[in-house]
């Protein structure tokens, strides 16, 4: 046990020497750095004296006492300065210094046999009682430092709590045990040096994490990992020692066998933990996340990604997606797979600096099943080295034999896999760490959103093309329906009036008109639009023509002109057809004994055409919800439900609008208005 104490205290002294050199080399003249150096030197002196005492150099008890108080006082001064910087209570700072001075004074009085204390009081009893009080004050100072620190420095303070707080926590345990047993607990006293040595790297991390201390300390990841391993082993051994001691106390007659069994099991467990690759990997990730600067400047990475995606165009969107991922790890080439339109396979969508074709991937391929289940980025080099990390993953043969293939980055959006990118090896690139993987997955999700948007835009454009075509077809069918109605009327009256010359002349004129209009329909189909040449014409001729077309039906529309000289510039045939539709709608909703009135006016630069009737009328809800909705007809199979919609769209293309007012059982008024030329 003595050898362990000598080794532990010597290790603590050596570790503090290294920490002193590290802090001094990075010290920038700030008070906080100087006090940390003082605390490190005090710990070196303390550890050396304890190691020498255990070695048998017969160090006087008073010097051991002073070494203990010197070490505690140095940490008190360090914590007091930190507390003063954050505006903590001066009462706590003053009380801690007074308590420390009181313990020194009490020990000095006992050393020189000043008869103040009860008989039998020794330096050991003063150290145990005073050490317990000072340890409690030290923990209180660390707790107050954490409680009152700004949010931005809390993480560094947590590390400090683990370091200096661990020192005072062990002292609290040690001195409480000593007081209960009225002396020194040998195993706790000798194990103290090793525990303090294990906390030195933690204090170094705290100094590095707290930038306001003005210490720019750099510690390599390897040193951090192995130092943390030493800390963990030390804490583990202390816990096992405490449990073993408890077994010795409780075991009585079977304590030897129980202790041997316990320590053998503890040693086996320790070896298992030390050689566990998963545990070591998780420890490395934890340390990298919480104790080191990030590998990437995320502001720069984000700006670069935005700049890359800003260059995305429909023709280059997929190659840009590959570039966005490749530039993170300096990959020289890559390929992209995306879900096809039927969502049945991942088809090769694009490649970047890759010659030759790449095959499609079935959705039931083990690679896709694995990625969907785990959402992992697959490192093919890592898979070839240690396939067990990826469980039951099977890589397609064509991808596995590709010596250039390196990374498989999934593209997820809304939790669904929409594609993946395979990147080629980057020259001289080291192995990926957690930060590379997190960034690639994040960028992959962002790129997936853009690709999904690009696909949605393409589908929307296609849908709009079909919509335009369907609208054109509907309008033309409506026109053809009107022509058929005219031809049907001729056929229906032919038997009765075919010998009448006037009927024959009128029929021929109607047929000629229908032929001309059908020619226009054919021209529109060829051009793919409904546009017609506009020309200037008197409004009265247009309205009169529409009224004449509807005069064969009852009730005959009445025409009223308020401005006989109004001129319009429109597609004559088109406006005649929309007016005809409004008049016929009015006739359909009015009985034969009703009335339909067509009025025209020219007011404040606006052409106004009003068609009113005294028919059945409509409710406000019907006008709001159904009247202008395409393909919603109240005429059953006789209507297509686009007439009023077509009239309104025509008026709006002229810069005007169509307004409809109606009262049930009283009639309806449709008012079309548009600017005059």
Q: Which residues contact 111 (CB under 8 A, 6 or more apart)?
A: 62, 65, 123
What average pLDDT does the segment 644-657 reach?
A: 87
369, exposed or middle or buried, with CB in 10 Å at 0-12, 13-18, 19+? middle
- For residues 389, 394, 397, 400, the Cα torsion angle rounded to the nearest 10 degrees is -20
Residue 227 has pLDDT above 90, yes or no: no
Q: What is the pLDDT of residues 609-647, one digit of tens each?
A: 999 999 999 998 888 778 887 655 665 444 555 678 778
What is the band of 664 on the pLDDT scale with cuts at 50, 70, 90? very high
Q: What is the pLDDT of residues 115-156, one digit of tens each?
A: 777 777 788 888 888 888 888 888 888 888 877 777 666 666
State the Cα–Cα distance between residues 467 and 630, nearest whole angstrom.
Answer: 12
Closest residue by Cα to residue 567 from 535, 603, 538: 538
Residue 390 has pLDDT above 80, yes or no: yes
What average pLDDT does the segment 195-210 reach?
A: 78
Q: What is the pLDDT of residues 231-246, one digit of tens each?
A: 555 555 556 555 655 5
Q: Which residues pair with 597 in a beta bridge?
A: 558, 612
What average pLDDT does the segment 316-332 reach?
A: 85
Residue 284 has pLDDT above 60, yes or no: no
Phi, psi of 642 (to 5 degrees): -120, 0
State the Cα–Cα distance between residues 666 and 88, nearest whole angstrom.
Answer: 84
Strands 345-352 and 334-339: antiparallel
What is the band of 551 on the pLDDT scale with cuts at 50, 70, 90? confident
Between 7 and 240, where is the model more confident?
7
Report the pLDDT value the prediction gives residue 221, as an integer from 0 to 100.
47
What is the band of 422 on the pLDDT scale with cuts at 50, 70, 90? very high
Residue 256 has pLDDT above 50, yes or no: no
Q: What pTM did the predictor assign?
A: 0.39
Please state whether the peptide bond connecting residue 436 to the residue before it is cis, i.e. omega within 30 degrees of 0.
no
Q: What is the pLDDT of residues 50-95, one digit of tens each?
A: 888 887 777 888 888 888 889 989 988 988 888 887 776 678 788 8
Residue 344 has pLDDT above 70, yes or no: yes
Q: Token pair of 149, please?
A: 């620190």
CA distances 614 to 550, 589, 666, Å, are: 17, 8, 5
Residue 668 has pLDDT above 70, yes or no: yes
- For residues 97, 103, 109, 115, the Cα torsion angle rounded to the nearest 10 degrees is 120
Residue 296 has pLDDT above 70, yes or no: no
65, exposed or middle or buried, with CB in 10 Å at 0-12, 13-18, 19+? buried
Residue 225 has pLDDT above 50, yes or no: no
Report the pLDDT value the prediction gives residue 632, as an integer from 0 to 100.
58
What is the band of 179 on the pLDDT scale with cuts at 50, 70, 90? confident
CA distances 301 to 296, 305, 307, Å, are: 7, 6, 10
**437 alpha-carbon distance from chain centroid:** 15
What is the band of 27 on the pLDDT scale with cuts at 50, 70, 90? low
Quickly list H helices, 421-571. 434-497, 501-527, 539-550
Q: Token pair of 668, please?
A: 């309806």
Between 530 and 25, where is the model more confident?
25
State the Cα–Cα distance between residues 337 and 362, nearest whole angstrom.
Answer: 11
Enter the DSSP assignment of 629. Answer: S
Least confident of 21-25, 27-31, 471-475: 471-475
**481 alpha-carbon distance from chain centroid:** 55
Report the pLDDT value the prediction gives residue 1, as an integer from 0 to 100.
56
CA distances 160 to 79, 150, 486, 651, Å, are: 10, 14, 95, 76
Report the pLDDT value the prediction gives residue 224, as an integer from 0 to 100.
47
Q: Which residue has the tokens 């630069």?
A: 605
Least confident of 173-187, 454-468, 533-547: 454-468
Report the pLDDT value the prediction gives residue 526, as an integer from 0 to 100.
61
Tell how many helices (H) and how many strands (E) occur in the chain: 22, 13
Enter the DSSP assignment of 425. Answer: P
CA distances 454 to 318, 331, 346, 410, Å, are: 9, 24, 17, 18
What is the band of 474 on the pLDDT scale with cuts at 50, 70, 90? low
For residues 436-459, one letter each, b for 16 or more C-beta atoms within 10 angstroms of the residue's C-beta and e for the rest, the string is bbebbbebbebbbebbbebeeeee
Residue 412 has pLDDT above 90, yes or no: yes
CA distances 557 to 527, 594, 607, 612, Å, are: 36, 10, 20, 10
Report the pLDDT value the prediction gives residue 250, as an integer from 0 to 100.
55
Q: Which residue has the tokens 């040096």?
A: 193
State the Cα–Cα distance between residues 508 and 517, nearest whole angstrom.
Answer: 14
State the average pLDDT for the chain. Answer: 78
Q: Using alpha carbons only, give the angle 576, 656, 587 rounded to the nearest 5 degrees.
A: 40
SS3 at position 529: coil
Q: Token pair of 631, please?
A: 């393909």
Q: What is the pLDDT of residues 436-453, one digit of tens each?
A: 888 888 888 888 888 888
What is the band of 671 on the pLDDT scale with cuts at 50, 70, 90? very high
State the Cα–Cα distance between residues 289 and 393, nearest whole angstrom.
Answer: 28
Report the pLDDT value the prediction gives residue 168, as an integer from 0 to 100.
87
Enter the DSSP assignment of 389. Answer: G
State the Cα–Cα distance between residues 627 and 610, nearest whole angstrom.
Answer: 17
Q: What is the DSSP string of 492-509?
A: HHHHHHTT-HHHHHHHHH
Report the pLDDT value the prediction gives residue 235, as an integer from 0 to 100.
56
State the Cα–Cα distance between residues 221 and 280, nearest whole angstrom.
Answer: 13
Between 536 and 28, where is the model more confident?
536
């Amino acid at each position: 046990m003595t050898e362990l104490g000598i080794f532990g205290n010597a290790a603590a002294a050596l570790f503090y020497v290294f920490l002193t050199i590290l802090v001094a080399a990075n010290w920038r003249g700030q008070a906080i750095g100087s006090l940390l150096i003082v605390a490190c030197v005090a710990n070196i002196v303390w550890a050396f004296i304890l190691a020498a005492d255990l070695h048998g150099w017969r160090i006087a008890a008073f010097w051991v006492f002073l070494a203990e108080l010197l070490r505690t006082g140095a940490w008190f001064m360090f914590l007091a300065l930190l507390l003063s910087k954050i505006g903590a209570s001066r009462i706590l700072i003053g009380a801690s210094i007074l308590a420390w001075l009181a313990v020194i004074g009490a020990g000095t009085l006992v050393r020189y046999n000043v008869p103040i204390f009860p008989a039998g009081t020794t330096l050991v009893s003063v150290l145990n009682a005073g050490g317990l009080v000072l340890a409690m004050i030290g923990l209180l100072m660390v707790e107050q430092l954490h409680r009152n620190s700004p949010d931005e420095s809390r993480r560094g303070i947590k590390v400090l709590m683990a370091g200096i707080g661990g020192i005072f926590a062990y002292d609290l345990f040690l001195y409480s045990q000593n007081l209960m047993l009225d002396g020194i607990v040998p195993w706790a006293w000798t194990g103290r040096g090793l525990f303090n040595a294990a906390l030195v790297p933690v204090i170094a991390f705290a100094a590095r994490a707290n930038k306001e201390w003005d210490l720019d300390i750099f510690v390599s990841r390897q040193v951090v990992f192995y130092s943390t391993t030493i800390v963990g082993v030390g804490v583990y051994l202390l816990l096992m020692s405490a449990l073993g001691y408890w077994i010795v106390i409780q075991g009585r007659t079977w304590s030897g066998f129980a202790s041997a069994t316990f320590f053998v099991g503890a040693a086996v467990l320790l070896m298992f933990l030390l050689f566990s690759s998963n545990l070591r990997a998780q420890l490395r990730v934890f340390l990298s996340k919480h104790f080191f600067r990030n590998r990437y400047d995320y502001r720069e990475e984000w700006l670069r990604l935005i700049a890359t995606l800003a260059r995305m165009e429909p023709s280059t969107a997929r190659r840009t997606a590959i570039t966005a991922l490749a530039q993170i790890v300096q990959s020289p080439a890559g390929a992209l797979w995306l879900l096809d339109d039927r969502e049945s396979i991942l088809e090769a969508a694009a490649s970047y600096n890759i010659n030759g074709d790449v095959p499609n991937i079935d959705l039931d391929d083990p690679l896709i099943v694995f990625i969907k289940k785990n959402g992992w980025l697959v490192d093919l080099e890592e898979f070839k080295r240690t396939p067990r990390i990826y469980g039951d993953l099977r890589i397609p043969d064509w991808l596995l034999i590709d010596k250039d293939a390196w990374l498989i980055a999934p593209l997820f959006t809304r939790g669904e896999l929409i594609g993946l990118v395979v990147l080629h090896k980057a020259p001289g690139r080291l192995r990926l760490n957690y930060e590379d993987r997190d960034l690639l997955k994040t960028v992959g999700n962002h790129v997936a959103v853009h690709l999904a948007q690009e696909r949605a835009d393409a589908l929307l454009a296609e849908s709009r093309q079909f919509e335009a075509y369907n609208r054109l077809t509907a309008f033309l069918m409506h026109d053809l329906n009107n022509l058929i109605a005219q031809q049907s009327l001729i056929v229906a009256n032919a038997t009765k009036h075919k010998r009448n010359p006037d009927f024959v002349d009128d029929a021929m004129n109607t047929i000629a008109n229908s032929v001309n209009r059908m020619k226009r329909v054919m021209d529109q189909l060829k051009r793919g639009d409904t546009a017609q040449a506009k020309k200037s014409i008197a409004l009265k001729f247009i309205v009169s023509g529409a009224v004449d077309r509807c005069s064969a039906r009852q009730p005959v529309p009445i025409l009223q002109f308020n401005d006989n000289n109004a001129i319009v510039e429109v597609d004559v045939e088109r406006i005649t057809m929309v007016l005809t539709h409004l008049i016929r709608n009015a006739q359909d909703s009015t009985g034969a004994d009703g009335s339909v009135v067509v009025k025209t006016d020219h007011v404040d630069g606006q052409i106004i055409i009003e068609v009113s009737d005294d028919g059945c009328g409509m409710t406000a809800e019907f006008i709001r919800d159904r009247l202008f909705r395409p393909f919603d007809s109240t005429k059953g199979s006789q209507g297509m439900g686009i007439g009023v919609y077509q009239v309104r769209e025509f008026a709006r293309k002229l810069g005007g609008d169509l307004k409809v007012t109606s009262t049930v059982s009283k009639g309806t008024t449709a008012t079309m208005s548009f600017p005059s030329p």
